[in-house]
Amino acid sequence: MKKSNKSRITVKIYNRSYTIVGEENKEHIDLVANLVDEKMREIRQANQGFDTTRLAVLTAVNVMNDYVKLKEKYNTLQDSIKRDEEN
């Protein structure tokens, strides 16, 4: 049987444990989990009384928003490189 490259890493986010299965190393997963934990606590500051599900969904929305915007910037940068190469 081929050995799988997938690792199982346990992290703590907002006082709850999660097992992350993937091909990333522990350092990367810890970094990502910490960023999510921080963002949830930051959003809670502005939304006292929200339950954890609501906080987690709003965190996901927040990060997705950042992702979509960065993706647009990335595409613009790539297009400008392409244009430069053609000229």
How far is CA 30 from its chain centroid? 11
Other Cβ atoms within 10 Å of 13 Cβ, number: 19
Select from 10, 41, 78, 82 the one that contacts a second copy (CB under 8 A): 78
The answer to whether 71 contacts a second copy (rule: CB under 8 A) is yes
The answer to whether 7 contacts a second copy (rule: CB under 8 A) is no
Sequence-ordered list of residues with C-beta below 8 angstroms from that of 18, at least 6 positions apart, any chain: 10, 11, 12, 33
Whichever of 26 and 60 has its CB closer to a second copy, that residue is: 60
User: What are 36's two structure tokens?
Assistant: 């999510």
Residue ranges binding a second copy (CB under 8 A): 13-14, 16, 18, 20, 22, 24, 28, 31-33, 35-36, 39-40, 52-54, 56-61, 63-68, 70-71, 73-74, 77-78, 81
